[in-house]
Amino acid sequence: QYGAQASPAVEDHRASMTEYWSTDHAAPTLENMMLDSNAGDMDRLERPEILSALPSLQGKKVLELGAGIGRFSGVLARKAGEVVAVDFVKSSCIENQRLNAGCNNLRVMHGDVTQLDLEPNSFDLVFSNWLLMYLTDEEVNDFAAN
């Protein structure tokens, strides 16, 4: 069950990810978030393709998981009725809020997606990009069930 005690391997993995993102890659930049010095080029190429796969967001409530610095948050907020963007790197949340300050329908939350406890069926769409690769198989199974 989601929220149950995680295995020691998962706890070690979460601790490792927390340390990694709070030290080595804590600076809220596109390059750090995408782990590539050519992140700007990569973003220009992949973002339109990803966004083209989404359904209409008009009036929808969207949950964005692993939002990072908000490279999708603002776009989602301009199309949706409401967006809740979650990331567990505090500096990324702050940068997301700064970059998307004009989006009154965007709420940025600092939190670990593996520990979220949100009201069931409270979102029309869950969006994520590049998140699942940072989770263990056990976390993905629990996450999907939630």
Residue 39 lies in a domain: no
Q: Which residues of the chain have pLDDT under 50?
A: 1-3
pLDDT at 15 (0 to 100): 73
Number of domains present in the structure of the chain: 1
What pLDDT, on the 0 to 100 scale, is given for residue 35? 66
Range(s) of the domain holding residue 73: 58-145
> Which residues, other chains included, contact 51 with Cβ-Cβ below 8 Å and sequence gap of 6+?
72, 75
pLDDT the model gives residue 21: 63
Q: Is residue 50 assigned to a domain?
A: no
- What local confidence, expressed as pLDDT, does residue 7 receive? 76
Question: What CATH number is given to the structural domain containing 115?
Answer: 3.40.50.150
CB 83 within 8 A of CB 64: yes
> Does residue 19 lie within any of the structural domains?
no
Q: State the pLDDT at residue 108.
A: 98
